Amino acid sequence: MIRTNRITVIEKEPTTNNFTIDEQIISQKRISIGSDHTGFKMKNILIKYLGERGFQLNDEGTFDEKSCDYLDFAKAVALKVATGNADFGIILDATGIPSSITANKIKGIRAATCYNAFSAKSAREHNDANVLVLGAKSLGEETIKTIIEVWFSTNFAGGRHQRRLDKISSIENEKD
């Protein structure tokens, strides 16, 4: 990263396009994926990319580039994960922010908007995030693929992080 007169230039992160988890684990990962119209093209790229690597994918829509509401697809993906019909979710909209807010309204969902490899690793390792949210208009294809590689190569660390997740669950249960 280079800083010049209040402008930050972020260099492209390299991607290996290889997953470091074994094939049996990959085949057990059921992914629910969805997007609004702004993420439609990238969603289709990711469906192909992940499918070629053995992941089981369920496309929650949208199925074209007509303007639609991100929250319908964010909710659909989050519900699949929350009910155990998917192990993980991936949601794409323009920035990732509104879909993350929506998905996190569903009990049991820990959706994280990730914007680089570090945020993806931290979301999985420290927060046991189960829904990855990406900004299709704010991130390039190679960065998104790198984020996905790190996401699916990182396990929850447990330990002190489990204690923190337990506190989050307590807050979530206070809503009821």
Q: Render pLDDT for 59-75 as a digit per residue (tens, 0 to 9).
A: 999 999 999 999 999 99
CATH of the domain spanning 21-174, picked from 3.40.1350.10, 3.40.50.720, 3.40.1400.10, 3.40.50.20: 3.40.1400.10
Query: For 96, which DSSP code?
Result: S
Q: Render pLDDT for 85-130 as a digit per residue (tens, 0 to 9).
A: 999 999 999 999 999 999 999 999 999 999 999 999 999 999 999 9
What are the residues facing 3 on neighbouring strands?
8
Q: How far apart are CA 97 and CA 80, in angstroms?
A: 20
| Other CB atoms within 10 Å distance of the CB of residue 61 | 16
Q: How far apart are CA 102 and CA 147, in angstroms?
A: 21
| Residue spans per domain, the chain | 21-174
Q: How far apart are CA 173 and CA 150, in angstroms?
A: 30
CA 132 to each of CA 1, 19, 113, 170, 176: distance values in angstroms, whole numbers, following the listed order = 24, 16, 6, 22, 25
Active site residue 37: no
| Catalytic one of 119, 126, 161, 165 | 126
Q: Render pLDDT for 145-164 as a digit per residue (tens, 0 to 9).
A: 999 999 999 998 877 777 88
Residue-level pLDDT at 46: 98
Judged against a pLDDT cut of 60, whether residue 20 lies above it is answered with no
Q: How far apart are CA 164 and CA 34, in angstroms?
A: 29
Q: How far apart are CA 104 and CA 123, in angstroms?
A: 14
